[in-house]
Amino acid sequence: EAGVTQSPTHLIKTRGQQATLRCSPISGHTSVYWYQQALGLGLQFLLWYDEGEERNRGNFPPRFSGRQFPNYSSELNVNALELEDSALYLCASRLKGFQPQHFGDGTRLSIL
């Protein structure tokens, strides 16, 4: 079974630009979660999508947004990039209920 896949692996942007990160969940998983992991910090919850709807979002400004497509894949958009947005962005998927989250390898976003 293929795991969670994320693209691109690395992304380099400059301040003020926009970034789009993509995630394909494990087949059959309908929930997708996005996390930000800045260097030396833990996992900060960004967004949760399920069945195409945004179900919850973390304490991040509105320039962090995303969506989930009918095939349950998802994308994360970050507008007006700032230096502090440099981080590893992890996507995770899971089945419903008390199921573990399965993480992708992440996208390393660097803001110059």
- Residues of this chain that bind another protein (CB under 8 A): 33, 35, 41-43, 45, 48, 55-56, 90, 92, 96-98, 100-106
66 vs 104 by CB, closer to another protein: 104
Instruction: Please give the angle made by the CA atoms of 9, 14 and 17, to the nearest 5 degrees.
Output: 90
Exposure class string for 41-50: b at 16+ Cβ within 10 A, else e: eeeeebbbbb
We find the least distance from the C-beta atom of residue 99 to another protein, in angstroms, to be 8
Min dist. Cβ of residue 100 to another protein (A): 4
SS3 for 42?
A: coil
Closer Cβ to another protein, 18 or 51, answer by number: 51
Q: Specify the residue, 28 or 97, whose C-beta has the smaller distance to another protein.
A: 97
Distance, CA of 60 to CA of 38 (rounded, Å): 13
